[in-house]
């Protein structure tokens, strides 16, 4: 499963990541960070759908998202 | 070239030669009379000497090309005349603040406004008070001969790099256009070490370097200004003047640049008539040679400041002798070319007209 | 299964968080420049010329050697840098007020001379830093703090299309306009930024890339609305595309 790591203190809550996620697994959370922004999050129940495509991270103006991609063993060996 | 190695050149050419011999790497300028011989000379000779010449689209562009070139640690300069120098002032302020060394030549012309293309000393205030916005000063050197134009332009680069500051050569139409023999020195070899610890070269194996003049964080601008103030105070060591027949003089004329040469002629004529007058010619206008002027006043000699303006340097003379003496003033105005006879009469009147 | 890092901060971007408003795409624009320069191992020979506007603190966010140019003068300053350091990679980063208003003369002449520099031009149609005044690229009808009834073409002129104008000048080797509003456009932007540097490196002339970006605060929109506005209103006025690429011009010197 690929995954994102979202640095909530860098996030400004712009939600541009949420509109480009092809799996629609990003959303606004109910949490505020120290700057007072309501931060984005990856919905935990949908997290495993992440493909590691990096669209969210590319769109993020604040470098709040790091993307880890997992390549399945059989894909990797192809 | 004569047998003794002297060459016969215009003041503008002497400035250009001084700059090239100082190791100039970038000249950026925009045409304006009476300094056009400088960009013309540079366009022909600087590329041969390994430097870059660009005719800029405006004086603003020219001085900001200087900023870019100078930020890399290269010796860079521009030249202009009064209205064009006004257009550059914003960047002098930036460069003084970001401590970017460069040399700027102002061959003053008549003003205010578009004025005329004859000589003037109307930019003394602008040159010596920083000129642009904010609280800063830059060294100002005022040559009065073509040889001195060559020598001081060379030296201006050394001062610029020693203090990391813009330095101005303040000449005028007379100096720029007159021809005299000069002796050129040996070209200075390049010295990469002079900018090795601050020039922009790409952040390889070190932290990035930044030339900036914006400081919004609490206390930072104050700290920058404290450092700049200390530097401006340290520049006092540059103060320099020439004295001519002051030893036994009863009255000493204070005058600078090409006007001081006319005054010198007047003084020679007055001396021939037995009148005890002399000349003190500031070579640095900032820092002003206040100590030397005060020393003359302390000897009980009377002072007369002669300028080709409404009275600008006279303020510095009066500040220098404040509490000791005063200075009379005689000003000729832009639009006329002053004559030795006029100054002779003014000096004689000051000498015989009692103390002021 | 093995896990690999698919996206992280490129080394030339400083860790410092930016001062930009939420959703402002300056962060995307300069990050992409840094990604290109890092990928090509050019960071250590890069000299950046910053400008006046919201990106004035760019030297805090990108770790390149930098010189701050007075308002509008970045192409002149970059000219000075490049002429005495032809082996360096030099770029300016300018907004629309800086480049297309006060700095119009400098960009035109640097482009016409064919300065071997790259110009990264961020167009968000307003003066952001000073509070949303009308810019040279403000759309006709767009309300700003100094065009409260909307920009009127007959008294205030129509927006300057800089990528097209610059492409018409002889010294320009590459000129393109791209947007930052979706992943497809980001890919185009990445390619355009690369070309804008490649022509400099090849000594072919100026590389110019205009990036359409949002200003949610001064457009009085949410970041998501502003991003949609790019597609709906900005791109129709500022068409995307490559307006000049010297590589495609047969016989170019």
pLDDT confidence tier of residue C253, bands split at 50, 70 and 90:
very low
**In Å, how far is A43's CA from the nearest CA of chain C?**
19
Between A19, A63, A70, which is nearest C31 by CB?
A: A63
C-alpha angle with apex C179: C176 to C183, nearest 5 degrees? Answer: 120
**Looking at the 3D structure of chain A, how many domains does it have?**
1
- pLDDT at residue C250, rounded to an integer: 42
Q: Domain limits at B53?
A: 6-190+213-237
pLDDT tens for C124-158 read: 999 999 999 999 999 999 999 999 999 999 999 99
Assign residue B309 the CATH number of its domain.
3.40.50.920
pLDDT tens for A17-51 read: 999 999 999 999 999 999 999 999 999 999 999 99
Share of chain B above pLDDT 70, in %: 99
Residue B34 and residue B71 in one domain: yes
The whole-number average pLDDT for the span C53-81 is 97
Residue B208 in domain: no
CB under 8 Å to C98, separation ≥6 — which residues?
A: C51, C52, C53, C71, C72, C74
* Pair B169, B153: CB distance under 8 Å: yes
The contacts found for B272-277 with CB under 8 angstroms, 24 or more apart, are B275/B347, B275/B348, B275/B351, B276/B248, B276/B249, B276/B250, B276/B251, B276/B351, B277/B245, B277/B249, B277/B250, B277/B251, B277/B252, B277/B253, B277/B347, B277/B351
pLDDT confidence tier of residue C100, bands split at 50, 70 and 90:
very high
The whole-number average pLDDT for the span C105-109 is 98
Between B62, B67, B210, which is nearest C66 by CB?
A: B210
The segments of chain B whose pLDDT lies below 50 read 355-356
B90: chain C residues, CB-CB within 8 Å: 70
Q: Do B203 and C80 touch (CB under 8 A)?
A: no
Q: Which of B169, B204, B237 represents a domain boundary (last residue)?
A: B237
* Residue B12 burial by Cβ neighbours in a 10 Å radius (0-12, 13-18, 19+): buried
The whole-number average pLDDT for the span C48-70 is 97
- pLDDT at residue A75, rounded to an integer: 58
In this complex, is the C-beta atom of A13 within 8 Å of any C-beta atom belonging to chain C?
A: yes
Residue B159 and residue B32 in one domain: yes
Residue B199 in domain: no
**Looking at the 3D structure of chain B, how many domains does it have?**
2
When the pLDDT of each residue in chain C is averaged and rounded to a whole number, the result is: 96
Q: Which domains does chain C have, with CATH numbers?
A: 26-247 (3.40.50.970)
pTM for the structure as a whole: 0.96
pLDDT confidence tier of residue A74, bands split at 50, 70 and 90:
low
Residue B228 and residue B249 in one domain: no
C88: chain B residues, CB-CB within 8 Å: 72, 201-202
Whether C251 shows a pLDDT value over 50: the answer reads no
C24: chain A residues, CB-CB within 8 Å: 61
Give which of B208, B212, B215 to mutate to test C binding, by max C Cβ within 10 Å: B208
Whether C252 shows a pLDDT value over 50: the answer reads no
Residue B341 and residue B256 in one domain: yes
- pLDDT at residue B190, rounded to an integer: 87
C47: chain B residues, CB-CB within 8 Å: 71-72, 200-202
Residue B231 and residue B284 in one domain: no
Q: ipTM score of the complex?
A: 0.96
Residue B309 and residue B347 in one domain: yes
Q: Domain limits at A36?
A: 3-77
Residue B228 and residue B265 in one domain: no
Assign residue A35 the CATH number of its domain.
3.30.70.20
Share of chain A above pLDDT 90, in %: 88
**In Å, how far is B179's CA from the nearest CA of chain C?**
32
pLDDT tens for C191-225 read: 999 999 999 999 999 999 999 999 999 999 999 99
pLDDT tens for C223-248 read: 999 999 999 999 999 999 999 999 86
């Amino acid at each position: 499963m690929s995954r994102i790591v979202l640095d909530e203190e860098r996030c400004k809550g712009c939600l541009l990541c949420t509109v480009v996620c092809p799996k629609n697994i990003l959303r606004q959370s109910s949490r505020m960070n120290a700057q007072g922004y309501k931060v984005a999050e990856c919905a935990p129940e949908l997290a495993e759908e992440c493909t590691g495509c990096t669209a969210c991270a590319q769109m993020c103006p604040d470098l709040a998202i790091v993307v880890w991609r997992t390549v399945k063993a059989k894909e990797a060996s192809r | 070239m004569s047998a003794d190695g002297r060459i016969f050149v215009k003041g503008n050419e002497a400035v250009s030669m001084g700059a090239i011999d100082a190791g100039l790497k970038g000249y950026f300028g925009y045409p304006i009379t009476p300094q056009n011989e400088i960009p013309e000379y540079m366009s022909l000779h600087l590329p041969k000497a390994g430097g870059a010449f660009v005719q800029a689209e405006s004086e603003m562009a020219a001085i900001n090309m200087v900023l870019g070139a100078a930020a890399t640690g290269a010796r860079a300069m521009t030249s202009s005349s009064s209205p064009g120098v006004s257009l550059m002032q914003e960047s002098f302020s930036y460069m003084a603040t970001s401590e970017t060394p460069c040399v700027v030549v102002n061959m003053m012309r008549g003003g205010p406004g578009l004025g005329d293309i004859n000589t003037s000393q109307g930019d003394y205030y602008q040159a010596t008070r920083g000129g642009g916005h904010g609280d800063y000063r830059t060294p100002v050197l005022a040559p009065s001969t073509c040889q001195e134009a060559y020598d001081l332009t060379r030296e201006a680069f050394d001062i610029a790099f020693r203090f990391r500051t813009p330095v101005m050569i303040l000449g005028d139409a007379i100096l720029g256009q007159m021809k005299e023999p000069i002796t050129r020195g040996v070209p200075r070899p390049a010295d990469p070490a002079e900018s090795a610890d601050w020039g922009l070269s790409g952040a390889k194996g070190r932290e990035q370097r930044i030339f900036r003049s914006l400081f919004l964080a609490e206390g930072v601008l104050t700290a920058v200004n404290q450092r700049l103030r200390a530097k401006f105070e340290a520049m006092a060591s540059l103060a320099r003047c020439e004295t001519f027949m002051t030893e036994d003089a009863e009255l000493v004329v204070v005058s600078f640049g090409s006007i001081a040469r006319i005054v010198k002629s007047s003084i020679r004529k007055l001396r021939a008539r037995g009148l005890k007058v002399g000349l003190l010619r500031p070579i640095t206008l900032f820092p002003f040679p206040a100590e030397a002027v005060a020393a003359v006043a302390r000897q009980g000699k009377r002072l007369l400041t002669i300028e080709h303006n409404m009275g600008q340097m006279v303020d510095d003379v009066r500040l220098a002798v404040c509490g000791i003496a005063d200075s009379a003033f005689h000003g000729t105005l832009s639009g006329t070319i002053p004559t030795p006879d006029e100054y002779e009469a003014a000096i004689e009147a000051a000498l015989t007209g009692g103390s002021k | 299964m093995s896990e690999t890092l698919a996206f992280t901060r490129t080394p030339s971007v400083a860790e410092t968080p930016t001062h930009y408003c939420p959703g402002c795409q300056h962060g995307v624009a300069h990050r992409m420049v840094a990604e290109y320069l890092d990928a090509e191992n050019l960071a250590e020979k890069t000299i950046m010329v910053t400008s006046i506007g919201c990106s004035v603190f760019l030297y805090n966010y990108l770790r390149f050697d930098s010189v701050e140019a007075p308002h509008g003068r970045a192409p002149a300053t970059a000219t000075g840098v490049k002429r005495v350091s032809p082996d360096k990679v030099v770029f300016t980063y300018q907004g629309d007020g800086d480049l297309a208003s006060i700095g119009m003369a400098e960009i035109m002449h640097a482009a016409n001379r064919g300065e071997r520099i790259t110009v990264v031009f961020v167009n968000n149609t307003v003066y952001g830093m000073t509070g949303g005044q009308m810019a040279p690229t403000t759309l006709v009808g767009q309300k700003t703090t100094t065009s409260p009834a909307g920009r009127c073409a007959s008294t205030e002129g129509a927006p300057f299309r800089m990528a097209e104008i610059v492409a018409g000048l002889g010294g320009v080797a590459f000129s393109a306009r791209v947007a930052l509003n979706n992943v497809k456009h980001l890919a185009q932007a990445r390619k355009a930024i690369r070309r804008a540097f490649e022509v400099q490196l090849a000594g072919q002339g100026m590389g110019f890339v205009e990036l359409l970006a949002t200003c949610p605060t001064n457009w009085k929109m949410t970041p998501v609305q502003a991003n949609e506005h790019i597609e709906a209103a900005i791109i129709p006025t500022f068409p995307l595309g490559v307006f000049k690429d010297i590589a495609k011009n047969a016989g170019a010197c």
